[in-house]
Chain A
Amino acid sequence: MKNDFRMQYPLWMMGFIIALGMFTYGISEPTTKVINTEMEQSIMIEIGSVDGIFAVGSVILYFLMLAGFSYQLMRHNKQNPTQKIPFISFRPPEYLEQDEGMTYITRKASQKVYTFMSWSLPILAIFAMFSPLPRFYTVWGILLVALIQYVIYYLEIRKHFKEETQ
């Protein structure tokens, strides 16, 4: 069960969020130069060296992770033909709902995430409205909330399976 892809799914999502956070940092302060003359029309975007490493590196990291994620997903679907996970789904595939015991654990984890969301989103909204910091920090705030929700969910599920194996 611990090797079940649905158990690992939150870890993959955390990885993708971190890659997106790195990309956000990389493109946070590009220099934009617009040339609009009779002879030339062009837009030049200049990214600093450190920012560039983050921007390009995060894109490479993202695609490497996407390849690994796709491979694991296909392997899961091959091994579990009755419990296939679609590549894109509105319903979070990390829900464990094979029976009432699994549904109970999923509900407990989801309740903890909901509790976290119920106070973190209003705080983030207030921060976004009144903070003098650049928009980039708000994006990071959203990504941080998304990351923490997966951490909460994963730790709660893992706790039950850890206890079970002891």
Chain B
Amino acid sequence: MQKFFRKLLANFKEYITLVVLLLISLFLLSINNKPGVERFRAISFGTFAYITSTVHSITNIFKNDSETAKLRLENAELMLEVNKLRNYALQNEHLRKMLEMKDTLTYYLLAADVISKLTSKIEGNFIINVGSKHGVEVGMPVINEQGLVGIVIGVAASFSSVRTLENISLNAAVTNQRSGINGILSWNGQRHVIKNIPTTFDMQIGDRIETSEFSTILPPAIPVGIIVEKETEVSGLLSYIYVKPFADVKSVKNLFVVRFVKNIQIDTLETNLLKRIK
């Protein structure tokens, strides 16, 4: 029996090794969300990011970015401000008085550089050079001076990983700024699309799309893109709305993390509401 197993092992050692290694990798995939593993990942990715950051700074040694960075920050703040003003113009005065939410909404921007891009056609992820010690938290949106770029999905001490708009795993609740119609924006590997919008809904080419108040991950009123095409499904009942993002995700280098975690705000509001009811 022992001889048989020894022979089996000798003859099929490559296959046995392959199966064992594949099982280990599948096991690792299944435990990714455990807190211990997440911490381990954050530490190792943060440590390695120091090296990539050094390489990045060497490649950018001849660029003096301080002035540009300042202007970009100003641009990004102005972009958010302009969008907010557009909203004010479009909103009903009465509703604004009732809600008084957007009036009090302030975004704190934290400048960051992309130090590594891990992009494929369907999965876009960046590593940026700000992390938990700068106040970055998982779930914070990432923008540039043009609009939304992505969302923070992992944080180490000095670095964070960002899931970009060009990632099929990122589905964002968005709204049409003019008509107020909501939908879910996703990346299909080629284009950004809002699926399953009834054809009777008011979505016109040229309308601006921004993040929705219904989003559980993103703060409202961050510009996302513009409607460029409307396609009706075979049944004729639903439309696919194609959106061109304002931010060019492929070429983005300098970013801003919006220090705002939607869930905390919602939680606070809900808690306050419950207190009032009681």
Partners in one complex: no
Which residues of B does A touch, CB under 8 Å?
A: none
Q: Which residues of A contact B (CB under 8 A)?
A: none
